[in-house]
C-alpha cells in the first residue's frame, strides 16, 4: 500500500510517498480502507520538531532523536472496513467507521488496522468521511480537558485559539455544558466561533484581553500564546488555567497553588480514551457537535496541506482525501 513517510525532521519537503507492507488484521482487529484522514497541528509540529518551550530534549527522547520513531503520521481517519480478524463481533466488512489511533499514529496510509475494542466507532449517517476523519483529534482533546477543568453551567470560560481544531470543539462542548464562552481569535474567524455558540468574541489583534482581572472561572489556552503568569490574574478564586499547548514552565506551574487564591494550572497531554470516539459520534448524531473543516487536499498533495497548517491560520481541521467520494 501507499503511505506518507517522514524519516527526518524538517519542512513539508521531507515527506515522501513509499510502498509499505499492507497490514493484516490480527485476532480482534479490523482493517480499514482509509477514505480520509487529516493533517493536524500535532502532525505539523512533530514533522518540524517544533516542540513547546523547554520540551525539546524530552520530546526527542519520546518521538525520536534525529527523526520520528513512527515515520507514518496521522492520528485520525475514517473509512470502510475491508477485512476482519478472528473473533471480531462488533464490525463487518463494508461498515463505514471513524477511528482515532492518536499518539500511535499511522493514519497517513491507504489501510490501517484497529482493535475492535479500541478507539473506533461506526460513522454517523449523513456525516461525510472527510468530516468524520477530522472529528477526533480536536474533539477527544476537548472532551478530556472539559472534564478535567470541571466546566459547569453558568461558569465563565475564556478560550484562546477558539477557531482551531481543539478550540472549535471546546467552544461547542463548553456551550453544551451551559458555560458562558468568550472566544479569542482573529477577526476573520469571529462569525465562525459565534456560530459555534460563543457569547463574546475578542479579536486578539486589536484588543488586549489580558486586562480582564478576575473575570473567568476557566481559561483554555490552545496555541501557547499566553503564559501562566499572565493567565492567573484573569481567573476568579479557585479558577483553572488549562495550558493545552503547555511548555515546561506551564508543566512546573501545575505543582501546588500557594498564594494563588486556590487558582490552579492544568497542563500535560490529553488522555486518549477509546470511548471518546463513540461519544463524539453520538454527539454529532445528536446535533450537539459539528466538525469544522477548513479545506480538503488530495492524498498526493499532503505536503501542501502541511505547509498550510504550518502557517497557523487554519480554521478547524484540514482533511486529506484518499478517495474523492470522501469530500466534505
Q: What is the pTM of this model?
A: 0.93
Q: Encode pLDDT of 186-206 as tens digits.
A: 999 999 999 999 999 999 999
Q: What crossing angle do the helices spanning 274-285 and 136-148 adopt, rounded to 10°?
A: 100
Evaluate if residue 211 carries a pLDDT over 90: no
What residues contact residue 58 under an 8 Å CB cut-off, 6+ apart?
Answer: none
**Residue 315 near residue 169, CB atoms below 8 Å:** no
| Residues constituting the chain | 328
For the cut 80, the answer to whether the pLDDT of residue 94 exceeds it is: yes
What percentage of the chain carries pLDDT values higher than 90?
84
Is 225's pLDDT higher than 90?
A: no
Summarised one tens digit per residue, pLDDT across range 72-81 is 999 999 999 9
**269: confidence class by pLDDT, cuts 50, 70, 90:** confident
pLDDT of residue 258: 53
Q: Which ranges in the chain belong to alpha helices (H)?
A: 41-48, 56-63, 129-132, 136-148, 165-176, 190-195, 228-231, 248-253, 274-285, 302-310
Domains of the chain plus CATH, in order, are 2-135+291-326 (3.90.180.10), 138-267 (3.40.50.720)
Kindly report the average pLDDT of the chain as a whole number.
94
Predicted local confidence at residue 44, as pLDDT: 97
Distant-in-sequence, close-in-space partners of 142: CB < 8 Å, separation ≥ 6: 166, 169, 170, 173
The predicted pLDDT at position 325 comes to 82
pLDDT digits (tens, 9 = 90+) for 30-67: 999 999 999 999 999 999 999 887 778 888 988 999 99
User: Is residue 107 pLDDT above 60, yes or no?
Assistant: yes
Dihedrals phi, psi of 100, to nearest 5 degrees:
-140, 80
Among 166, 170, 99, residue whose Cα is nearest residue 138:
166
CA atoms of 110 and 118, how far apart (whole Å) = 19
Residue 256: per-residue pLDDT: 64
Which one, of 163, 134, 133, 159, lies nearest residue 145 by Cα?
Answer: 159
Amino acid at each position: 500500500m501507499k503511505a506518507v513517510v517522514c524519516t527526518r525532521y524538517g519542512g513539508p519537503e521531507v515527506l515522501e510517498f513509499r510502498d509499505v507492507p499492507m497490514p493484516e488484521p490480527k485476532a480482534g482487529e479490523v482493517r480499514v480502507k482509509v477514505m480520509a484522514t487529516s493533517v493536524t497541528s500535532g502532525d505539523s509540529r512533530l514533522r518540524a520538531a517544533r516542540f513547546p518551550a523547554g520540551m525539546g530534549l524530552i520530546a526527542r527522547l519520546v518521538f525520536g532523536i534525529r527523526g520520528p520513531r513512527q515515520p507514518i503520521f496521522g492520528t485520525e481517519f475514517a473509512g470502510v472496513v475491508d477485512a476482519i480478524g478472528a473473533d471480531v463481533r462488533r464490525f463487518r466488512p463494508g461498515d463505514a467507521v471513524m477511528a482515532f489511533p492518536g499518539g500511535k499514529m499511522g493514519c497517513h496510509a491507504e489501510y490501517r488496522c484497529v482493535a475492535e475494542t479500541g478507539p473506533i466507532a461506526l460513522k454517523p449517517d449523513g456525516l461525510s468521511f472527510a468530516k468524520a476523519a477530522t472529528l477526533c483529534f480536536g474533539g477527544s482533546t476537548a472532551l478530556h480537558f472539559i472534564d478535567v477543568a470541571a466546566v459547569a453551567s453558568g461558569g465563565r470560560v475564556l478560550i484562546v485559539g477558539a477557531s482551531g481544531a481543539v478550540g472549535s470543539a471546546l467552544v461547542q462542548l463548553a456551550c453544551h455544558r451551559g458555560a458562558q464562552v468568550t472566544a479569542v481569535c482573529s477577526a476573520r474567524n469571529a462569525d465562525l466561533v459565534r456560530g459555534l455558540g460563543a457569547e463574546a468574541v475578542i479579536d486578539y489583534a486589536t484588543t488586549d484581553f489580558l486586562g480582564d482581572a478576575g473575570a473567568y472561572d476557566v481559561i483554555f489556552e490552545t496555541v501557547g500564546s499566553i503564559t501562566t503568569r499572565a493567565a492567573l490574574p484573569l481567573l476568579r478564586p479557585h479558577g483553572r488555567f488549562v495550558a493545552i499547548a503547555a511548555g515546561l514552565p506551564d508543566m512546573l506551574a501545575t505543582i501546588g497553588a500557594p498564594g494563588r487564591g486556590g487558582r490552579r494550572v492544568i497542563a500535560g497531554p490529553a488522555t486518549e480514551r477509546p470511548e471518546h470516539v463513540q461519544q463524539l459520534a453520538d454527539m454529532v448524531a445528536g446535533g450537539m457537535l459539528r466538525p469544522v473543516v477548513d479545506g480538503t487536499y488530495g492524498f498526493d498533495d499532503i505536503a501542501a496541506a502541511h505547509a498550510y497548517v504550518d502557517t497557523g491560520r487554519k480554521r478547524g481541521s484540514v482533511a486529506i482525501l484518499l478517495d474523492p467520494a470522501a469530500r466534505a
